[in-house]
Amino acid sequence: MRAAYTEQLASLGHTLGDMAALAGASMEKATDALLQADLAVAEQVISEYDRMAELTRTAEEQAFALLALQAPVAGDLRQVVSTIQIVADVDRMGALALHVAKIARRRHPQHALPDQVNGYFAEMGRIAVALGRATQEVLETRDPERAATLHDEDEAMDDLHRHLFTLLMDRDWPYGVAAAVDVTLLGRFYERFADHAVEVGRRVIFLVTGSLPSPDPEDHLAGRT
């Protein structure tokens, strides 16, 4: 029974890793579609979301099967419950990439972004893709120290988002309301993608250590409040 449980849990971990890899790849393509006004790439991201939905269903089924058939307790129960929560976070990362692609598609053949903010979104996209890859690594290795480092990249994303908001609030913003709405939504999508990656890291720390970290995971690992 124990061997079967361990095997099923490992299979679930692989599914989560596949989901994180897909979320990162989708955000990379969505960013390219956004910056290049590339309709074909945007459509590819949108069509590939079916794969994310399929992986989400698989992960949920695996997790609930563990609950129903293995009746885990204590640390085992913590792992399964944490995994169910992680499924939701990674699925949301994929959905946020989908939202970026949909805006690129809706504005085609025009660019959704004014030239003034292209650099911001190129960097936000780079950070998001890096976080997607790091999330995959954390899920596969279950390394709490590596999980804690996701917070640093999120801070860089937050800084970019704040600077972007400053531009939007400038009374001399010359690009009109529609562009402002698109930039606001897109900035939020990238920020939330990063937030979900950090949340996965926090849940992995909890899964491994049994202690849910503070909002700053590095403070938690260092024993500070």
CATH number, domain at 99?
1.20.58.220
Does residue 1 surpass a pLDDT of 60? no
User: 26 CB contacts (<8 Å, ≥6 apart)?
Assistant: 45, 48, 49, 52, 94, 97, 98, 101
Which domain does 54 fall in, by range? Answer: 2-221
Burial 126-161 (b: 16+ CB within 10 A, else e): ebbbbbbbbbbbbbeeebbeebbbbbebbebbeebb
For residues 203 and 82, is the Cβ–Cβ distance under 8 A? yes
pLDDT > 60? residue 74: yes
Q: Please give the average per-residue pLDDT across 198-215, as a whole number.
A: 86
- 178-195 per-residue burial string, b: 16 or more CB within 10 A, e: under 16: ebeebbeebbebbbbbbb
Task: State pLDDT tens for residues 120-147.
Answer: 999 999 999 999 999 999 999 999 999 9
pLDDT at 225 over 50: no
SS (H, E, C) 40-51: HHHHHHHHHHHH
Task: Label residue 71 by pLDDT band (50, 70, 90).
Answer: low
Q: Helix (H, G, I), strand (E, B), or coil: what is residue 6? A: helix
Helices (H) and strands (E) in the chain, counts: 8, 0
Per-residue pLDDT tens digits for 152-180: 889 999 999 999 989 988 888 899 999 99
Q: What is the mean pLDDT of the chain?
A: 89
Question: Residue 186 in contact with residue 102, Cβ under 8 Å?
Answer: no
Query: If you ran DSSP here, which 8-state letter would residue 179 be given?
Result: H
Residue 2: Cβ-neighbour burial (10 angstroms; 0-12, 13-18, 19+)? exposed
- Higher per-residue pLDDT: 37 or 12: 37
Tell me the pLDDT band of 67, cut-offs 50, 70 and 90: confident
The count of structural domains within the chain is: 1
- Supply 144's token pair: 């709490």
Of 16-20, 61-65, 209-213, the one with minimum mean pLDDT is 209-213
pTM of the model: 0.89
Distance of alpha carbon 122 from alpha carbon 52, whole angstroms:
24
